[in-house]
Amino acid sequence: MDTLAMELNEVLKATVVRSVLSRYGEAAFFPKGIVAQSAEAGVHAYRANGTAGVALSAGEPLSLTYFTDAVPQLTLPQMVSYAPTAGDPALRQKWKEELVRKNPVLSGKQFSLPVVTTGLTHAISIAADLFVEAGDAVLLPEPCWDNYSQIFDIRHNARVVPYGLFDSKGALDIGGMRTSIEHQPQEKVVVLLNFPQNPTGYTPSIAEQEQLVQALVACSRNGKKLVVIIDDAYFGLFHDPQCSSESLFGALCDADANLLAVKCDAATKEALVWGFRIGFITYGAQGLTNGQYHAMVQKTMGAIRASVSSCSRIGQSLLLAAMADGRYQQDTLKVMEEMAARYRLVKEALATHTEEFPILRPLPFNSGYFFALDCPRGSEELRVRLLKDHGVGTVAIGTTLLRIAYSSVDRKDIAWFIDLVYQVAGELWR
């Protein structure tokens, strides 16, 4: 093992982080190689800098003149230069400030400075790299986003343990999740939580979120070492006043010394920049010092350096400029309000089909971009019939779930869209 990795592990000694690292996580470090030496030279090399593999003249990039005309608000270095491995420092700080603004419970709490990733999927993949070993128990909600299986099962050979999101009465099954954790034979257990949830579009109420936190803390205090990965992809899209409007990370980041909270979020939906591929990964655990958070960031930088090297500079520069613009909050709020309006239209349309729920029943939903229909007779058959015979796209998940993204359906089309889904289901199975 490299000396730098051993030094980081020594800093993390006697913390939950050290006890839950994968073998790769133990070995990960950010090398004092080309990137680190180039960064040092950027500060101190005042006569000439021969470190970076970048074409420069008088310190400026030799790049395409088109870019300056295309994006006049940014300088050429803001568009084409390499970004620091952990991301633009100003953007990282701004995102942390936004976390506190959107989650007041975080005010005054200690947690790491967010690290920029290439989208939220990359953030979850880094969490898997650092904390998941082959055979580790990874608890995933059922149903869930299908890419989790690619990350944890296929890529890391973890032992995926599905737990039911809802109980037989349609309530959030917190007790079932706790039982699943307690029944795992290993001390370390990885739990993934995603609210607003994909594919169901469900967010816990304030009371449910408190119960969820209490259940996780009870497990950690009873001897489990928990890594709780919080997928906040759709954070902020809360359409029902009963939804808890703060991330679980705020309550979990200092909840217990045996619980590491890993927040994976992104500008993707929060800042409406889907194709920018800008995500963030942030860590929190009770009792961690600034030096220990720095060690975690160094390991994260090592994982980034070994995969994508660094994230897009122009996307980070544009996002940072947009967040400083007075229209940023107004524009994002406008889209949130539009999604809430579509959510209400979906609820109204579904209310006209309650008699048909035995063949096509909506799962609980109150947030996000989607709702999901339980389709006992087979969701793929319904999906294909809607697409081939009527030109309507939906997503079949597993064998019995049909997901509909009202985020991409105009208001005027929602009622007839849902009517058509029920009509075709009736033709197939009534």
Strand 259-266 versus strand 225-231 pairing type:
parallel
| Alpha carbons 233 and 31: distance in angstroms, whole number | 30
Do 308 and 392 share a domain, yes or no?
Answer: no
How many CA atoms does the CB half-sphere of 59 hold within 13 Å?
9
Do 182 and 316 share a domain, yes or no?
Answer: yes
User: Which of 306, 324, 342 is a domain's end point?
Assistant: 324
Domain tally, the chain: 2
Query: What pLDDT is recorded for position 58?
Result: 87
Edge-first strand listing for the sheet containing 401-405: 361-362, 370-374, 401-405, 395-397
Query: What pLDDT is recorded for position 219?
Result: 98
Do 320 and 370 share a domain, yes or no?
Answer: no
Do 277 and 389 share a domain, yes or no?
Answer: no
Do 167 and 209 share a domain, yes or no?
Answer: yes
Do 300 and 377 share a domain, yes or no?
Answer: no
The answer as to whether 26 is a domain residue is yes
The answer as to whether 144 is a domain residue is yes
Residue keyed to tokens 């809430």? 340
The answer as to whether 38 is a domain residue is no
Coil, strand, or helix at residue 145?
coil
Angle at 12 between CA 10 and CA 13, to 5 degrees: 65
Do 260 and 310 share a domain, yes or no?
Answer: yes
Query: What pLDDT is recorded for position 51?
Result: 83
Alpha-carbon distance values, 103 to 204, 239, 286, 287, 330 (Å) = 16, 17, 18, 20, 18
The answer as to whether 101 is a domain residue is yes
Do 319 and 400 share a domain, yes or no?
Answer: no
Is the link from the previous residue into 114 a cis peptide, with omega within 30 of 0?
Answer: no
Do 298 and 167 share a domain, yes or no?
Answer: yes
Do 284 and 411 share a domain, yes or no?
Answer: no
Of 366, 371, 354, give the one whose Cα is nearest residue 405. 371
The answer as to whether 52 is a domain residue is no
The answer as to whether 39 is a domain residue is no
User: Which of 285, 309, 324 is a domain's end point?
Assistant: 324
Coil, strand, or helix at residue 262?
strand
User: Which of 262, 292, 324 is a domain's end point?
Assistant: 324
CATH number, domain of 348, equals: 3.90.1150.10
pLDDT block averages, 10 residues each, the chain of length 430: 96 97 98 82 82 87 95 96 96 98 97 98 98 98 95 97 94 97 98 98 98 98 98 98 97 98 98 97 98 98 96 97 96 98 98 93 97 96 98 97 98 98 95
Contact 178, 218 (CB under 8 A): yes
The answer as to whether 46 is a domain residue is no
The whole domain housing 246 covers 3-30+85-324
Do 309 and 366 share a domain, yes or no?
Answer: no
Two tokens at 117?
A: 């990733």
| Alpha carbons 346 and 106: distance in angstroms, whole number | 34
Query: What pLDDT is recorded for position 356?
Result: 86
Query: What pLDDT is recorded for position 355?
Result: 92
In this prediction the pTM is: 0.96
Give, as one character, the DSSP assignment of residue 4. Answer: H
The answer as to whether 215 is a domain residue is yes
Query: What pLDDT is recorded for position 34?
Result: 76
| Alpha carbons 275 and 395: distance in angstroms, whole number | 21
CATH number, domain of 250, equals: 3.40.640.10
Do 157 and 226 share a domain, yes or no?
Answer: yes
